[in-house]
Structure 1
Amino acid sequence: MADWIYQGIDARGRLFTGPIEAADADEAAHRLQQQGLLTTRLVPHTQAGGTSPVRHHGRRRIDRATLLAFTDALSGLLRAGLTIEQSLTVALTLSLPPAAHLLIADARHDVRAGISLSESLAQVDGIPTHYVSLVHNGELTGDLGAMLARLQKAIARSAEIRAGILNAAIYPALLVVVMLLSLLFLFIDVVPRFAAMFARSSIRLPAATRALLAVATFLHRNMMGLSSGVLASIILLMGAWRSPGGRASLERLVLHIPALGPIIVSLELGRVFRTMAALLAAGIPLTQALTNIWALPGPGTLRSMLHTWHERLVAGESPAQSVASLPLLPAFVRQFIAMGNETGRMDDVLSALADRLEHDTDRAIHRALSLVEPAAILVMGLIVGAVVVSILAAVFALNTVHIST
């Protein structure tokens, strides 16, 4: 067992330092976690005098919530007048998610080693290129606190939109699931009981009843096969989504769906233009801003459009000319960009454009989701009504036979 020297923080923000025995760094960090400590520094005992600690952020991908917590904490401390190293040290004592503490600890170590914050963040998987560019620009201008505040606002707005969409979709999704389960129960359990009753009679059932019983019998006998087919289809779609060619094909298919495609395009364009506005406000040229943005995750068609826009700007076209024939861009978007080019306030115009796109998208999503509830109720009512009418038709036929006999 090797000796390690650790530095860690407990749940109350207190700093602890000492030795621990473990076979490797992972085991040492795991033991410290069991003791309620968040590891911020961990080095072999023989190297404790001056080597670099084990870095943690290379082992995991930073998610949006972690990046938001990191940005929010650091921007406030920097604007309060603290240096970068002081801000990172104080941020370690704040109540933040564990992943954010690890990111802060690694960044502080790099800063103490003479590495800039932007260079440190560039090594972290999950931090976008435009984020690193803005941090670097803030370091050069000496206004890193304001730059991080702008990033925090953009990330928080994006998270707010996602949360709003998710919250609005929960009830319609539950309603659709309950409707499907109810109809499934109706066809594989309730209807077959009537089928057994009708089978004991020798009359010819109405056509609607025969069709209903045929559907119920098919579902009852082939439920396992149908379930396996649905599961296999989901697995195939997930596999296609992970492959570049399959993902591009699925994206094109989704973007051509009449109701869904325009909403996705507006949502992605709003995100792109808000990010671009932040980059331009920081003094980053439009061509470099586009280079940073097309590396963001999103539909391949949109990234291809941004790449084409960049090539036209490099070729000498003005911003207004370069977007004149770009696909996916509505006419009002081209007008906004032309206006920003004429006034010289492209960052403000793009920010206003992002606000409009996000507002229109939010309204369209809520309008579409508000139609799901009545549509689901209507569909379920029609199907249940058809089932009831079909069964009653058979019952009336049986009664007619009994009365006549």
Structure 2
Amino acid sequence: MARFRYEGRDRKKIRSGVITATNQRGAIEKLREEGIRVTNILQLEETTLQKDIQIGNPVKREQFIMFLRQFSTLMRAGVTIVDAVHILSQQVESKPLQKVLVQVDDELRKGNSLSSALAEHPKIFEPLTVNLIHAGELSGNIDESLDRLATYYEKAYQTRQKVVSAMTYPAVVGVLAIGVVIFLLSSIVPMFVDMFASFGGELPLITQFVMAASEFVQQYWYLLLLIVAIIGIVFWMLRRDPKGRYFLDTVLLRMPIFGKIFKKSALARMTRTLSSLFSSSVPILQALTMVERVVGNEVIAKVVIEARDSLQRGGSLTEPMRNHWAFPPLIGHMISIGEKTGSLDHMLSKVAEFYEKEVEAETDRLKALIEPMMIVFLAVLVGTIVLAIMMPMFGMFENIDNM
């Protein structure tokens, strides 16, 4: 709920104050019901204490999918939109979603449409959701639009989870390996430095290298933190700049091994979104504009924009895709067949299913391959440090035996 400072007058005197409402229109209506004619109204900025602190998406994706499924089921059962929203506002688990649904319920009871009420809350209801529901309102098939949305988000969520799970293991093992190496170099190796110095002989090259690395970590540890901070700042700055985002996404798609997974995941998301929009009779130019915003990769998004511009000039939808390295020939061929046969949504759905299965297969293969590789990598790092410590000690024992 937002807070508004207003000025106005009733039949007796000038009135001013602060009122809480969903939006400015709701605030004016509340004041009108109290007999106050508003002459000036301004939304107040919320202080840190007044704001609901949220990190990331306020509603978990699985909870949002369940909400869409339940909403669709209620609509199919013949429940009115107002009653369905009221029922769901009382039983959804997510507190932010529950709070928003109460406000949507109020808007519906004032005579506003469902899509316009949802559009007031863009942090939870993305433009894609609002447009598909609006299309359902126009066609009278809101239940189908809700079911289609639930399927879309479910598929996208599953694909994303596959990619995340494939990236998590090497990331965790990599951080663990770095942590173990730093601990050994800063805490364990220094304990043997004086002992090795008392030997008087020349140390093995591997021991000299490890001791030098240990000394560097102890004396210049702040440089390591500085390097990490600089990398983080550079990455953040690149993500804020359109050209920087395009560069990073290009690197991401061209990465060895992982690049295939990221590319297929982005293509699956693009084709799944287009299929859902076309199935709901959203105009093709509007659909392409929305896909460009939600695809999540600047390289793919740029090709989508070029495809939209090509259509506006009277050209082909597939021409920019066929001439771009990120798009396999399969997509261009399938879209061309869909255009000729009038079943573009069906063809795009088939392409999305194909790439979703490809992502699943690639991530399974990657996890099977990378687990032993990461174990070997960690063993080599730790083993090198242990060997560097043990080799001079073996030499010392040999000298004692010879004496």
What TM-score results when the alignment is normalised by the length of structure 1?
A: 0.80
Q: Relative to 1, partners in 2 of residues 1:125 and 1:297: Cα closer, same or farther, differing over 3 Å?
A: farther
Matches within 5 A, 1:151-300: 151-296=149-294, 298-300=296-298
Structure 1 SS opposite 2:222: helix
Counterpart pick for 1:71 among 44, 68, 73: 68
How far is 1:140 from its partner? 0.9
The one-letter code of the counterpart of 2:106 is: H
- 2:120 aligned partner: 123
1:89 — aligned with what?
Answer: 86
Cα 1:172–1:25 shift into 2, 3 Å: farther
Q: C-alpha separation between the residues in 1 aligned to 2:164 and 2:33?
A: 48
CA shift digits 1:194-214 (9 cap, x unpaired):
212111222222222212211
Kindly indicate whether the alpha-carbon contact (under 8 Å) linking 1:205 and 1:397 is maintained by their aligned counterparts in 2: no
Unpaired segments ≥5 residues, structure 1: 1-22, 30-40
**Structure 1 CA distance for aligned equivalents of residues 293 and 98 of structure 2:** 27
Tell me: CA distance 1:176–1:336, structure 2 relative to 1, closer, same or farther (3 Å): same
Alignment check: 8 A CA contact 1:129 1:293 kept? no
Any stretches of 5+ residues in structure 2 without a counterpart? 1-16, 37-42
Please give the alpha-carbon distance, in whole angstroms, between the structure 2 residues aligned to 1:377 and 1:168: 15
User: Cα offset for 1:273?
Assistant: 0.8
The alpha-carbon deviation at position 402 of structure 1 amounts to 4.5
Give 1:305 deviation, angstroms. Answer: 0.5
CA–CA separation in structure 1 for the residues paired with 2:306 and 2:112: 35
Q: Does 1:317 align with 2:315?
A: yes
Contact persistence 2:163–2:261 (CA under 8 A):
no
RMSD: 3.3
- For 1:125 and 1:95, the matched residues in 2 are separated by 19
Q: Indicate conservation of the 8 Å contact 1:278/1:347, yes or no.
A: yes
C-alpha distance in 1, partners of 2:256/2:173?
Answer: 23
Aligned residue number for residue 379 of structure 1:
377
**Deviation larger for 208-217 or 284-293:** 284-293
Superposition deviation, residue 221 in structure 1: 2.0
Residues 114-154 of structure 1: CA deviation (Å, up to 9, x unaligned): 22111222232233323222111110111111111110111
Q: Deviations over 1:277-324 (max 9, x none)?
A: 111112223333212211225122211100111111222234455643
Q: Which amino acid aligns with 1:95?
A: V
| In the alignment, structure 1 residue 100 sits paired with structure 2 residue 116 | no
In 2: Cα distance, 1:398 partner to 1:113 partner: 89
Three-state SS of the structure 2 residue aligned to 1:253 is helix
For the 8 Å contact 2:268–2:353, the answer to whether it is kept is yes
**Partner in structure 2 of residue 370 of structure 1:** 368
Shift of 1:63: 4.4
Structure 2 residue matching 1:284: 3-state secondary structure: coil
Contact 2:263 2:326 in 1 (8 A): yes
8 Å Cα contact 1:279/1:289 also seen in 2: yes
From 322, 338, 341, give the equivalent of 1:340: 338
- The amino acid of 1:91's aligned partner reads L
* 1:137 and 2:135 correspond: yes
Contact 2:85 2:101 in 1 (8 A): yes
| Counterpart Cα distance in 2 of 1:178 and 1:118 | 47
Report the equivalent of 2:359: 361
1:147 aligns with 2:164: no
**What letter matches 2:269 in structure 1?**
R
SS of the residue 1:93 aligns to: helix
Letter in 2 for 1:143: N
Distance, in Å, in 2 between the alignment partners of 1:43 and 1:347 is 43
Equivalent AA in structure 2 for residue 307 of structure 1: I
CA contact (8 A) 1:75 1:145 kept: yes
Residue type of the alignment partner of 2:365: R
Instruction: Give me the TM-score of the superposition, normalised by structure 2.
Output: 0.80
Does residue 109 in structure 1 map to residue 106 in structure 2? yes
- Evaluate the alpha carbon distance shift between residue 324 and residue 176 of structure 1 in structure 2; reply closer, same or farther with a 3 A threshold: closer
How far apart are the structure 1 equivalents of 2:399 and 2:320?
79
Q: 1:321-356 deviations in whole A, cap 9, x for unaligned?
A: 564324421011222212222322111111110011
Structure 1 consecutive aligned stretches of length 4 or more whose deviation exceeds 6 Å: 23-26, 41-48, 58-61
Q: SS at the partner of 1:200?
A: helix
